[in-house]
Amino acid sequence: MSAQNVEIDSYLLPVVEVVEETHDALTVALEVPAGLEEAFAYRPGQFLTIAVPSDSHELAARCYSLSSSPHDGGPLRVTVKRTAEGYASNWIADNLRPGHALRVLPPAGIFSPKDLDADLLLFAGGSGVTPMMSITRTALAEGTGRIVVFYANRDERSVIFAKEFAELAAAHPDRLLVVHWLESVQGLPTQDQLKAFAAPYTTYDAFCCGPAPFMKAVSLALRELDFPRERRHQEKFVSLAGNPFGDGFSVDTAEYEVGAGDGDGA
């Protein structure tokens, strides 16, 4: 997509809610204005690209997976986890509040099941659970397949969507199995342990999102089990080159637009 087209296709969305998920993760709900429903129609597992004001001369554009389900309607929800060196994630956590607005690009990405009736094996590490929540919610509501989630975290307080997964598993005991793996208790999952976990589910479509070492271990484990390439999916976010919102969109514009929805004009 050219810079000119991206600039035309970016939109300002009001922030309607900010929800604290854990001590270091939050969910931002964005309202889709009337008339933009088609532009923001999305598939489970897709992401939004968000413009964040930067303390440098360059705009901070970051991609965040949607944790909401297109089945539910309502606001778009992205879940953001603070990282020690992450400028954008810390800015969002420290500054964003209802009444603000964010400029975003329409949903994008191919990390989405082609068939919601398929059996799904979902591997999530840390904040990599965000697209998995969207996939799980949508597949349970619209599909018929079974879903197995392997969710790895540092410790119990780091588990995002713990309550939501428990409620979904209780509501769909015949279709959803969620297994939590805590580094504080079990150590980091090894390739052999991941292989043993996945072995009963070799006919499932596998999806993986999380830290690079975790995704590599999952990928190698699935290859050892002879998962065909077309049934192995990974979500990888790379650093964006330049300004995907176009040359006409600047840091100053981003700073102004974030507060554009404030009632007091701040």
Q: How many domains does the chain have?
A: 2
Section 226-250 average pLDDT: 77
Specify the CATH number for the domain of residue 56: 2.40.30.10
Q: Are residues 254 and 201 in the same domain?
A: no
pLDDT class of 2 with cuts at 50, 70, 90: very low
Section 152-173 average pLDDT: 97
Q: Tell me which residue of 249, 263, 262, 264 sits closest to 53, measured CA to CA.
A: 249
Q: So what's the pLDDT on residue 168?
A: 98
Q: Are residues 136 and 178 in the same domain?
A: yes
Q: Is the residue at 65 inside a domain?
A: yes
pLDDT digits (tens, 9 = 90+) for 73-97: 889 999 999 988 778 889 899 989 9
The b/e string for 112-146 (b: 16+ C-beta within 10 A; e otherwise) is bbeebebbbbbbbbbbbbbbbbbbbbbbbeebebb
The residue range of the domain holding 21 is: 3-109+241-258
Is residue 131 within 8 Å of 208, Cβ to Cβ?
no
Q: So what's the pLDDT on residue 73?
A: 87
Q: Are residues 103 and 36 in the same domain?
A: yes
The span from the CA of 30 to the CA of 1, in Å, is 24
Q: So what's the pLDDT on residue 264?
A: 38
Q: Are residues 124 and 230 in the same domain?
A: yes
pTM: 0.89
Q: Is the residue at 265 inside a domain?
A: no
Q: Are residues 191 and 103 in the same domain?
A: no
Q: Of all residues in the chain, what percent are helix, strand and coil, respectively (each to 5)?
A: 30, 25, 40
Close Cβ partners of 21 (under 8 Å, ≥ 6 residues apart)? 27, 79, 160, 161
Instruction: Count Cβ atoms within 10 A of the Cβ of residue 153 and give its class: 0-12 exposed, 13-18 middle, 19 or more buried.
Output: buried
Section 25-54 average pLDDT: 94
Question: Which long-range contacts (C-beta less than 8 Å, at least 24 apart) are formed by 166-173?
Answer: 168/136, 168/137, 168/140, 172/140
Lowest model confidence (mean pLDDT) among 84-98, 104-118, 165-179:
84-98
The span from the CA of 162 to the CA of 178, in Å, is 10
Q: So what's the pLDDT on residue 230?
A: 95
Q: So what's the pLDDT on residue 86?
A: 79
pLDDT digits (tens, 9 = 90+) for 207-225: 999 999 999 999 999 999 9
Q: Are strands 120-125 and 147-153 parallel, antiparallel or unpaired?
A: parallel
Section 27-56 average pLDDT: 91
Q: Are residues 77 and 12 in the same domain?
A: yes
Which residues on adjacent β-strands are paired with residue 155? Answer: none
Rounded to whole angstroms, what are the CA distances from 231 to 70, 118, 208?
23, 11, 11
Q: Are residues 44 and 147 in the same domain?
A: no
Q: Is the residue at 264 inside a domain?
A: no
Q: Tell me which residue of 16, 23, 26, 10 sits closest to 64, measured CA to CA.
A: 26
pLDDT class of 265 with cuts at 50, 70, 90: very low
Q: Is the residue at 102 inside a domain?
A: yes
Q: Are residues 174 and 88 in the same domain?
A: no
Q: So what's the pLDDT on residue 5?
A: 39
Is residue 158 within 8 Å of 22, Cβ to Cβ?
yes
Rounded to whole angstroms, what are the CA distances from 122 to 5, 88, 125, 220, 252?
34, 27, 10, 15, 40
Q: Are residues 39 and 68 in the same domain?
A: yes
Q: Is the residue at 263 inside a domain?
A: no
Q: Are residues 207 and 136 in the same domain?
A: yes
Q: So what's the pLDDT on residue 207?
A: 98
Does residue 119 surpass a pLDDT of 60?
yes
Looking at the chain, how many residues does it have?
266
Q: So what's the pLDDT on residue 161?
A: 97
Q: Are residues 247 and 230 in the same domain?
A: no
Specify the CATH number for the domain of residue 152: 3.40.50.80
Phi, psi of 20 (to 5 degrees): -80, 115
Q: Are residues 149 and 227 in the same domain?
A: yes
Is residue 206 within 8 Å of 228, Cβ to Cβ?
no
Section 237-264 average pLDDT: 58
Q: Is the residue at 114 inside a domain?
A: no
Q: Is the residue at 77 inside a domain?
A: yes
Section 165-170 average pLDDT: 98
Q: Is the residue at 97 inside a domain?
A: yes
pLDDT digits (tens, 9 = 90+) for 175-189: 999 999 999 999 999
